Structure 1
């Protein structure tokens, strides 16, 4: 399996492939890379925390997580994560599209259980702790999915689909998934507004990006937008823009021979000294040292 620090935002690609849209991402967060950036995707995500502790934000609500926790992130939920100070966080993220469980014949399983999940019509549990009811059976099912994915027997895809159906049978059967429509409310409106701002940042991070431009998108004053973004995400808009730019800079440091100055300009930093200072504050090393460390280790 591919091991990396996840840094995607609104994901456009396919996890796995068209015929089997799922992939497992072993993820490690530590003091050198302590955050999983704010992002969302069309797929459901299941997380099994192997070690460490931290916080997970899902649809702008904060959830403390620790070793052993199981997390269910429904499609289209905006989420991010970070470790606690002086702690690492290791987990498997199982990302899959619910379409892979739908029947082309539109049978009762598809209509009653899968389609409502895809449509966001149902409420799901977010975090299951080790003392949660039925935790052991749900954890066992997640472990089975990971093992099948790792071993890759000739029938591993069949095993994974069977385990996913078993997972939802457990969640529905034990009442974790409630057949209650999720009504529109102020919180969901705020989430959609944040998505608009984030998507614009992702598409224009390498350009001059005044806060007023983002404020205009949401029809806010600059002052109101700054407060709104910080209140909803927990960090400033400038911090988020810099995070996006820095993570793209890291990719260029490892995948190209561009100079540090060229990379800084490529990702939207106009002041090279500010780029180096911001990079060092986040990664505890200079861009050149980062390149030397990680290129030499591959």
Structure 2
């Protein structure tokens, strides 16, 4: 079974963020279902299709412009693309540094607000997406300093237009006070969510008592470890419901749930839909056509 893969974003040596243009029919990144801590802007100049982001699937027409916050699992955007010629422009950047700048420069206030809203994913449906897209397309050939200044301009323009939320969930929404210890816990969740992982086990792995671990995790993430683990499991179940023809029972157990009834109940709580309805709605009614996972 394919888990959501961690994509390590490596900017060029002379830049603090990454910008690239792709016209390949299949994106080069091996893990189609993936996540990363960087923000991501994706512009598709033309075409129609479906987005697979978090637990949600939504349609776009006449190209697309989206902004994703950190750690939102998503498929590469060529998956679900229905038109003939695929083309994308992508910007991946660390938003924490830009948010920090708003403390010293009031001019970044609207951008800070935009990045906060992007924690659930944003899309622009009006023609403004192509105006912003034109600015993005030019970035590929700019010098590093010009790219940086253009990024600020793109974010400012994005903040001025009407956008809609994609209602996507992060794998684990970490607070500003995130520590290396929380990152270690996050890594354990990603690697072991299919097992019968417990708070005592994780606490032992990171050298804390169980009670101290529970308090620490809740303080730094705003949720219990059990809630975070459930969300990761459900995210991966959504991926399998759409990307495979595995039975719902097998998917439940593959994702770490020890009973089908528990899976159904928690899936409903997180996604606000049943697993069967989710699969039927997004596979049959929308006629989703994407590669099966081997």
Q: 2:132 aligned with 1:95, yes or no? A: no
Question: TM-score under structure 1 normalisation?
Answer: 0.50
Q: 2:22 aligned with 1:26, yes or no? A: yes
Equivalent in 130, 136, 148 of residue 161 of structure 1: 148
Alignment of 1:213-224 (within 5 A): 214-216=255-257, 221=262
Equivalent in 155, 158, 173 of residue 160 of structure 2: 173
Q: SS of the residue aligned with 1:168?
A: helix
C-alpha RMSD of the superposition: 5.0
Q: Deviations over 1:63-99 (max 9, x none)?
A: 3234543232233333224235684533222222223
Structure 2 distance, partners of 1:110, 1:8, is 40
Structure 2 distance, partners of 1:52, 1:121, is 23
Equivalent in 147, 155, 168 of residue 141 of structure 2: 147
Change over 3 Å in CA distance of 1:76–1:141 after alignment to 2: same
Structure 2 distance, partners of 1:191, 1:115, is 25
Q: SS of the residue aligned with 1:172?
A: helix
Q: Which runs of 5+ in 2 are unaligned?
A: 174-222, 240-249, 284-289
Q: How many residues align?
A: 210
Q: Deviations over 1:7-34 (max 9, x none)?
A: 994425233168613242515336x99x
Q: 2:56 aligned with 1:61, yes or no? A: yes
Structure 2 distance, partners of 1:83, 1:67, is 14
Mapped contact 2:49–2:59 kept (Cα < 8 A): yes
Q: SS of the residue aligned with 1:83?
A: coil
Structure 1 distance, partners of 2:70, 2:87, is 22
Mapped contact 1:45–1:96 kept (Cα < 8 A): yes
Mapped contact 2:89–2:136 kept (Cα < 8 A): no
* Structure number with higher relative contact order (C-alpha < 8 Å, ≥ 6 residues apart): 2
Q: Deviations over 1:99-128 (max 9, x none)?
A: 353556931348734544555577764143
Structure 2 distance, partners of 1:210, 1:173, is 42
Question: TM-score under structure 2 normalisation?
Answer: 0.51
